[in-house]
Amino acid sequence: MPSPDGPGAAAGPAAPATQGGAGRAPFGARLWAAMQAKGPLCVGIDPHPGLLAAWGLPDTPGGLRSFSLAALEAVAPLAAAVKPQVALYERHGSAGMAALEELLAAASQAGVLTIADAKRGDIGSTMAGYADAWLRDGSTLAADAVTLSPYLGFESLRPALDLAAANGRGVFVLALTSNPEGASVQHVGGSESVARRIAGAAAVENQRYARDVLGSVGLVVGATVGSALADLGIDLSAVRGPILAPGLGAQGATGADLRATFGASYPAVLATSSRGILAAGPDVAALRAATREALQGL
C-alpha cells in the first residue's frame, strides 16, 4: 500500500505497473489519485423505495433514473467514487438496469469512479459471463470496479480477476462483513480463518502491481467489525489493495471508529456512506453539505 507520505500523497501515485484497456491506468492507481484529490469517501447510490418516496419520486424506473442522476450531480465534485447498489435496479427488470447503465455512463463522463455493488460469484463460464458484463470494455454495465463473493473459493473468481487486470479495472472481494451471520463463515478457522485466507489471496493477486502503487484487488471489510481484524490476526496492510468499508454514517461508524478498526491500513480505506448522505436529498445543496460533513470526519 502506498504510504500517505509517499507516492500519491500530493501528485498522485507512481507510474502504474501496467496499462489496462483503452490505455487506462490500473484501477488501484486511479482510485488512490481520486482519494488524494477528494478524500477517502465513496457515496452509495441506493434507490430504496423509502428514499424514493422521501424524495417525492415514484418507485419506478423513471424514479430510479431521476434519483440516480440527481445524486450523482450532487456528489460528483466531492466523492472519490460512487457505488450503485445493483439489486435496487434489478428489481425493476430491464428498465431498471437501463437506469443503472445511464448512471454508469454519466459517472464516466463526469470523471467519477464507479463501483458496481453486484456481489457476483460463480464458477467457470458463468463467472466469465459476470466478468464480461461488469468488467469488459464496451459493456453497457462496465464499471471501474465490481464487488465479488469468493465463497465458492477464491480461485473461482479468476475470470473476473484477470479481465479486471487486463482492462485497468478493479474488484472488491467480500472478506469480513459486519452482518451478524457473516461470522459463521468468515471467522471459521480462528488464526487461519476464511477471512484471513481471502485477504492472503488478494495480497498474492496484488503482486502483479508495483509495490509503490495501490493494487486493484481490494477487499470489502465492514466499518463496524470492531476488533475482528485483530482477533483473527488479519494484516490488511499486507494486502496492498483498497479497502471498501461500508457502514459510515447511518450504520453508526465514525471516522474515529475507522481509524481504530483499521489502524496502519487506514490510508487505504475507502469509507462508504449511503443513507447518511442520501437522506438529505433531493436538494443538491443539502446533499453536498451532507457529503462535506461525512468527509470532515475522515
- Mean of per-residue pLDDT scores for the chain: 92
Domain 21-296, what fold? TIM Barrel (3.20.20)
* pLDDT of 81: 98
Q: Quick one: pLDDT at residue 18?
A: 52
- Mean pLDDT score, 199-224: 94
- Mean local confidence (pLDDT), 37-41: 97
Q: Are 171 and 214 in contact (CB under 8 A)?
A: no
- Clarify whether 38 is annotated catalytic: no
What mean pLDDT do residues 38-52 have?
Answer: 97
* Alpha-carbon gap, residue 287 to 292, rounded angstroms: 9
Q: Is 136 exposed, middle or buried (0-12, 13-18, 19+ CB in 10 A)?
A: middle
Please tell me the predicted confidence (pLDDT) of residue 94: 98
Give percent of the chain above pLDDT 70: 93
pLDDT over 70 (residue 25): yes
Domain coordinates in residue numbering, the chain: 21-296
Calculate mean pLDDT across residues 1-13. Answer: 38
pTM of the entire predicted model: 0.93
Residue 5: CB atoms within 10 A of its CB come to 9
Q: Exposed, middle or buried, 126 (CB in 10 Å: 0-12/13-18/19+)?
A: middle
Tell me, what's the pLDDT at 194? Answer: 95
pLDDT at site 61: 98
Indicate which residue of 24, 48, 119, 187 is catalytic: 119
Task: State the CB neighbour count (10 A cutoff) for residue 118.
Answer: 22
Contact partners, residue 291, CB within 8 Å, separation at least 6 = 41, 43, 74, 75, 78, 79, 277
Contact yes or no for 9/1 (Cβ under 8 A): no
Q: Distance (Å, rounded) from C-alpha 85 to C-alpha 43? A: 11
